[in-house]
């Protein structure tokens, strides 16, 4: 990892997104490849939401999609499988990059979302799913997405936003923008909002998909229940779920066009 990426990743984030990525890959290998996509897409939207993004971004063979904050590669693997698009992955965690290669055969670059190690205008589309609210410099991340996607290309986002009428929601390692703040950041990054949907308006995953994801979660818990790193990651996951259930934050899936 380069120095800039290392500085952008807190110790807490490293525990949650680094170590647990390796644990998830271990579990997928124990349980079998049928569990890979459901487990690796957790936190990145439902299959219906991913399908919608693939259509909205016009993904197809011969085009190139960038996944920023790709984790262990589930959404990128989904897009490649559904559309035949070529995919590139960037994530700040070396463990997550190694897991994406190990599970899906997807090479990934270690890099910071605020300073992507990529050339200008090298991709037809990009997405960043469930990542923006974990970043300390959200405008820089959006500007980088706009930089590396060709003019007129599409960008997909899953963002957890705090509801405008609520007070600021505090949570370590997360900063949930209000809708107005998000719109202003998109405009400053020269991104035109095209479509938006609430995450909950998409259909829930089918029972088989959910069961396979739950099996991986339960397997990781069984092996690492007493590890403080697993306990902290679980608290973070449950906190977001609680904020959503209490109406403090809401998942929004949106597409933008690069000016």
Token pair recorded at residue 22? 């390796």
Is the pLDDT assigned to residue 1 strictly greater than 50?
A: no
248-258 as b/e: b if 16+ CB within 10 A: bbbbbbbbbbb
pTM listed for this prediction: 0.92
For 103-143, the pLDDT digits (tens) are 999 999 999 999 999 999 999 999 999 999 999 999 999 99
List residues bridging with 122 in a β-sheet: none
Least-confidence region, from 94-98, 172-176, 217-221, 252-256:
172-176
Q: In this predicted model, what pLDDT tens digit does every residue of 185-229 receive, in sequence order? A: 999 999 999 999 999 999 999 999 999 999 999 999 999 999 998
Q: Given this model, what pLDDT does residue 188 score?
A: 98
C-alpha to C-alpha distance for 156 and 52, rounded to whole angstroms: 10
CB 251 within 8 A of CB 160: yes
For the sheet containing 149-162, what is the strand order?
108-110, 86-91, 64-68, 123-129, 149-162, 249-258, 191-198
Enclosing H/E stretch for 74? helix 74-83
Q: What is the pLDDT of residue 2?
A: 38
**Per-residue b or e along 93-125, where b marks 16 or more CB atoms closer than 10 Å to that residue's CB:** bbbbbbbbbbbbebebebbbbbebebeeeebbb
Rounded average pLDDT over 42-46: 92
- Give the count of alpha carbons within 13 A of 255, CB side only: 18
Higher-pLDDT residue of 233, 88: 88
Domains and their CATH numbers in the chain: 3-258 (3.40.50.150)
Structure token digits, residue 177: 């923008």
CA-based radius of gyration for the chain: 17
Instruction: Check residue 6 and give its pLDDT.
Output: 36
Query: For 148-185, how does the pLDDT look when each residue is reduced to its tens digit (9 = 90+)?
Result: 999 999 999 999 999 856 556 667 678 899 999 999 99
User: pLDDT tens digits, residue range 4-40?
Assistant: 333 344 555 555 568 999 999 999 999 999 999 999 9
pLDDT value at position 173? 73
Q: Which pLDDT belongs to residue 8?
A: 43
The pLDDT, as a whole number, for residue 15 is 54
């Amino acid at each position: 990892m380069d120095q800039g990426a290392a500085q952008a990743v807190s110790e807490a984030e490293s525990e949650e997104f680094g170590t647990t990525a390796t644990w998830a890959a271990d579990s997928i290998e124990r349980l079998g490849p049928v569990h890979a996509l459901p487990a690796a897409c957790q936190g990145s939207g439902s299959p219906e939401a991913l399908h919608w993004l693939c259509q909205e971004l016009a993904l197809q063979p011969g085009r190139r999609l960038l996944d920023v904050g790709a984790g262990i590669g589930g959404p990128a693997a989904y897009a490649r499988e559904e559309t035949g698009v070529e995919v590139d992955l960037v994530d700040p965690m070396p463990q997550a990059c190694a897991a994406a290669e190990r599970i899906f055969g997807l090479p990934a670059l270690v890099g910071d979302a605020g300073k992507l190690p990529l050339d200008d205008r090298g991709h037809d589309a990009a997405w960043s799913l469930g990542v923006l609210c974990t970043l300390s410099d959200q405008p820089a991340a959006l500007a980088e997405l706009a930089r590396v996607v060709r003019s007129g290309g599409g960008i997909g986002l899953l963002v957890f936003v705090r509801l405008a009428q609520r007070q600021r929601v505090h949570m370590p390692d997360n900063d949930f923008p209000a809708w107005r703040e998000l719109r202003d950041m998109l405009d400053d990054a020269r991104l035109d909002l095209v479509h938006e949907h609430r995450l909950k308006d998409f259909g829930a995953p089918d029972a088989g998909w959910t069961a396979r994801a739950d099996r991986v979660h339960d397997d990781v818990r069984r092996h690492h229940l007493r590890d403080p790193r697993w306990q902290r990651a679980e608290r973070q996951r449950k906190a977001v779920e609680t904020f959503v259930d209490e109406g403090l934050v809401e998942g929004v899936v949106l597409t933008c066009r690069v000016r």
